[in-house]
Every structure is written in structure tokens, then in C-alpha cells.
Amino acid sequence: MRILRSLTVALLVTVGLLSSPAVVQASAKAAIPQNYIQNFSETINIGVIHNFDLNYTHGNYDTLLGPGHRTTEFWNNAEGFYIGPGWCARLYMFDPYENSWVYDWYINGPTIRSVVPNYSWGVAPVRCSS
């Protein structure tokens, strides 16, 4: 019986169903997002950037972020965003102390912008006014 129990535990550890508390804690810690960018639009995609290194998957951005979505669907952190020609954006920063979004500034496109790390950002794309 003892041998069977040892074999069962070894099998569970091998297939990843049972692991040490340190491994569980490390993987839980890795899953916590450092920051995110949220698309506040109901209809317009925005380009988002994982690492602000000027080497992006799609030229000016790494992937498109759909309306209402967050970059946590792709990464644990995001470092920038892209607003295309003819578009502007209202940028909001999340204030964890007030638990609310605070208007930060208005941006004219086309532009690539980095964001301050460790803060989450809301981007509301709007047509630029003449």
C-alpha cells in the first residue's frame, strides 16, 4: 500500500497535478498583473505594446486590443499604446487609493506612447476634432 501511495504521488507531481507549496506560490505570484491598459471604447480597437522597445509585431504595436478589453488577456504588463491617423485619445490613470479612474491628458494621433509602469491606464479613442 505504501509503495502504491508513493507511486501515485510521484505520478501526480510528474503530470503537474500536485506540486510543492513553493511552486504553487511562485506561479500564483507570476500571474498577478503588474499593470494593464484597458480600451474604454465600445467600438474602436487600439494598438497596444508589450515592451516599449520600438520593435513591435505589427509595426507600431504588438496586438490590437478590442473595445472593453484589457491587456491582461495577453501579458502581465503593458508598456504603451498606438493611436492611428485621424484619431485622438483621452488617457486615464487608475488611482488605487481612490479606486477610480482619473483623467490624465488628451493625445493627438497618430502617435506611439509609453505609459508609466506599475499604473494601469484607460485609453478612450475618439475622432480628432478639427
**In sequence order, what are the residues at sequence separation of 6 or more whose Cβ sits closer than 8 angstroms to the Cβ of residue 70?**
36, 37, 38, 39
Q: pLDDT, tens digit, for every residue of 40-65?
A: 999 999 999 999 999 999 999 999 99
Instruction: Give me 111's grid cell.
Output: 502617435
**What is the C-alpha to C-alpha distance for residues 51 and 34, in angstroms, rounded to an integer?**
13
Amino acid at 43: T
Q: Which of 117, 122, 119, 120 is nearest to 105 (CA)?
A: 122
| pLDDT band at 123; cut points 50, 70, 90 | very high
Instruction: Please give the backbone phi and psi of residue 17, each rounded to the nearest 5 degrees, phi first.
Output: -85, -15
pTM: 0.73
Q: Which of 83, 85, 94 is nearest to 124 (CA)?
A: 83
Cβ atoms of residues 68 and 60 within 8 Å: no
- Does the pLDDT at position 14 exceed 70? no
- Does the pLDDT at position 81 exceed 80? yes
Q: pLDDT, tens digit, for every residue of 105-119?
A: 999 999 999 999 889
**What is the C-alpha to C-alpha distance for residues 68 and 43, in angstroms, rounded to an integer?**
9
Displacement of CA 52 from its chain's centroid (Å) = 13
Q: In the prediction, which pLDDT does 32 show?
A: 66
Instruction: State the average pLDDT for the chain.
Output: 83
